[in-house]
């Protein structure tokens, strides 16, 4: 049971990071129209998403 729980937690974390990066890149590109900024914000992922939500 414990092994399954660890596998599920890793999957959730991996999906959350991937979704956060994609969301940050989409928001960044829509806002700044720059691929470079989208990549930079994708690296910071959820931090940029939280910043965007708090400043809007």
* Domains of the chain, residue spans: 2-55
CB 28 within 8 A of CB 41: yes
At residue 7, the pLDDT reads: 58
pLDDT tens column, 1-56: 556 665 555 665 566 668 888 888 899 999 999 999 998 988 888 888 888 888 88
At residue 33, the pLDDT reads: 95
At residue 46, the pLDDT reads: 83
Sign, CA dihedral 30-32-38-44, equals negative
At residue 41, the pLDDT reads: 86
């Amino acid at each position: 049971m414990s092994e399954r729980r660890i596998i599920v937690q890793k999957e959730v974390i991996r999906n959350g990071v991937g979704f956060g990066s994609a969301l940050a890149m989409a928001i960044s590109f829509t806002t700044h129209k720059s691929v470079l900024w989208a990549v930079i914000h994708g690296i910071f992922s959820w931090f940029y998403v939280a910043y965007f939500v708090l400043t809007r």
